[in-house]
Amino acid sequence: MNPNKRRRTVRSMRKSDAGESRRITLTALFGVAVFISKALLPLPLDKMVVVVQALFLALGSLLSRRLGATKVAAIGAALTLFLRPSLAPITMGFALIYGLLTDVFIFIFYVNCMLLAIR
């Protein structure tokens, strides 16, 4: 086997691993941002920042390959469960529905994201 060809394979594997870890990190950061905008604000203000949550869900869906918004919503809901455990089923249910709807609508409207153009 040609040693140069072997090096290219290892390098391409490293690049794909780095890209995957970046996607996971961004998904986690977006989930934490959703949590902060939802749980740490007082009651009337947390309902007004739904625009921030929608922004992070849409970005998570575009930057992650599959079910990105659902992952972001699940992370945000899981963190919210620690502060509001009495509303656990409702919080998790609504967050997953919100994330799934965002993913479905981005898929239906065929929003295309060029991963190479984002730096």
Is residue 114 one of the residues assigned to a domain? no
Q: What is the pLDDT of residues 1-19, one digit of tens each?
A: 555 555 545 555 565 677 8
Which is more confidently placed, 109 or 114?
109
Is residue 97 one of the residues assigned to a domain? yes
Q: How many domains does the chain have?
A: 1
Question: Average pLDDT of the chain?
Answer: 83
Predicted pLDDT at 66 = 86
66-104 in b/e form (b: 16+ CB < 10 A) is ebbbbbbbbbbbebbbeeeeeeeeebbeebeebbeebbe
Is residue 39 one of the residues assigned to a domain? yes
CA pair distance 94, 90, nearest whole angstrom: 6
Predicted pLDDT at 42 = 84
Is residue 113 one of the residues assigned to a domain? no
Is residue 50 one of the residues assigned to a domain? yes
Q: Which domain holds residue 30?
A: 3-108
Is residue 117 one of the residues assigned to a domain? no
Q: What is the pLDDT of residues 26-55, one digit of tens each?
A: 999 999 999 998 888 888 888 888 888 999
- C-beta of residue 61 within 8 angstroms of C-beta of residue 68: yes
Is residue 74 one of the residues assigned to a domain? yes
Question: Using 50, 70 and 90 to split pLDDT, how confident is the model at 101?
Answer: very high
Is residue 89 one of the residues assigned to a domain? yes
